[in-house]
Every structure is written in structure tokens, then in C-alpha cells.
């Protein structure tokens, strides 16, 4: 019997796949537990439509990320902080500070976890910071840390 898996089933397949299962296994185990449903014409068409919608959504997200990257590319974001005489900061500039500055300047909300900062910025000057907007889109900005 052909079934469409609703959840990952070990030894059978992953969610959304159409697989062949024995009649007894499908009728007595998979379908009653909600792990699968019969692969009739209506269910298969619904599955195809869901896959198309998911593909369109991924494509739209990629386009939005590219547009955001084009807007941010080459920008210099100036952050004012308290610093000592030798250029060392009292504290540090974190990815949260950078995300807040980007939102303040451009209005674009960037998740602080997407900002690739190997370690917090602890001195004055300009640093290059990369932001991963999408799995295929990374943009590099410059953060200028100046004394307040």
C-alpha cells in the first residue's frame, strides 16, 4: 500500500515522502498513529501543492535576503562608547549593540545571532563584521567604534 508519511519513520522514510508499506503495517500501525495517510489522488495533489508553496517561500526569503544585503553592503555603522586614554573600552561592543545600531540607522531588524563576531570588540577603531542573512547570503559591514 502506498502511503504519505506525516512524520519521520525510522526504516521507512522521512516526512512528506510517498513510500510503499505493507498493507498490515500501514493499516494497523502507521495510519492509526497518525504517522501516515493513504496516498490517494487527492492527498498526493495536496502534497505537491505544499511542496510548491514551500519552494516559493524559500525563493522569496532568498530574494529578500539579497535585497537586504545590497542595502547593508559597504555601510559603516558608528558606535559611540566610553573608552580609556589608551583606546581600551570600558566593557565591549557586542553583537546585540551592532544589531541595535543597524536597526536604528536602517530600520532593518537583524537577529543578533546572525552577526558573526568571533569575539567582542574591546578597542577603538574600525572592524569588519559579517552578517549571515540567509544560508546562501552573507554580507560584510564595517563597525567604527569611537570614543563618546
Mean pLDDT calculated for residue range 43-59? 95
State yes or no: pLDDT of 143 exceeds 90. Answer: yes
Q: Is the pTM of this model over 0.75?
A: no
pLDDT tier at 148, thresholds 50, 70, 90: confident
How large a percentage of the chain has pLDDT more than 90?
82
Beta-carbon contacts of 28 under 8 Å, excluding residues fewer than 6 positions away, are none
The pLDDT, as a whole number, for residue 116 is 92
Q: Are 68 and 108 in contact (CB under 8 A)?
A: yes
State yes or no: pLDDT of 108 exceeds 90. Answer: no
pLDDT in tens, 22-48: 999 999 999 999 999 999 999 999 999
State yes or no: pLDDT of 119 exceeds 90. Answer: no
The pLDDT, as a whole number, for residue 31 is 95
Question: Considering the domain 67-147 in this protein, what is its CATH number?
Answer: 3.10.430.100
**Sequence spans of domains, the chain:** 2-64, 67-147
Mean pLDDT calculated for residue range 38-66? 94
Fold of 2-64: Ribosomal Protein L9; domain 1 (3.40.5)
**pLDDT top residue among 12 and 118:** 12
Q: Are 3 and 38 in contact (CB under 8 A)?
A: yes
The pLDDT, as a whole number, for residue 118 is 83
**Cα–Cα distance measured from residue 137 to residue 6, given in angstroms and rounded to the nearest whole number:** 31
Beta-carbon contacts of 30 under 8 Å, excluding residues fewer than 6 positions away, are 3, 5, 9, 21, 36
State yes or no: pLDDT of 138 exceeds 90. Answer: yes
Amino acid at each position: 500500500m502506498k502511503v504519505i508519511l506525516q512524520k519521520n519513520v525510522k526504516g521507512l522514510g522521512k516526512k512528506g515522502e510517498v513510500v510503499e508499506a505493507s498493507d498490515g503495517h500501514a493499516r494497523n500501525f502507521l495510519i492509526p498513529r497518525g504517522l501516515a495517510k493513504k496516498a490517494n489522488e487527492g492527498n498526493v495533489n495536496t502534497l505537491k501543492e505544499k511542496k510548491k508553496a514551500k519552494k516559493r517561500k524559500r525563493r522569496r526569503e532568498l530574494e529578500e535576503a539579497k535585497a537586504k544585503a545590497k542595502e547593508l553592503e559597504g555601510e559603516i555603522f558608528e558606535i559611540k562608547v566610553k573608552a580609556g586614554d589608551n583606546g581600551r573600552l570600558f566593557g565591549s561592543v557586542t553583537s546585540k549593540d551592532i544589531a541595535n545600531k543597524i536597526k536604528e540607522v536602517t530600520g532593518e531588524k537583524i537577529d543578533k545571532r546572525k552577526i558573526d563576531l568571533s569575539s567582542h570588540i574591546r578597542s577603538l577603531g574600525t572592524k569588519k563584521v559579517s552578517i549571515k542573512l540567509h544560508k546562501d547570503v552573507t554580507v560584510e559591514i564595517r563597525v567604527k567604534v569611537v570614543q563618546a
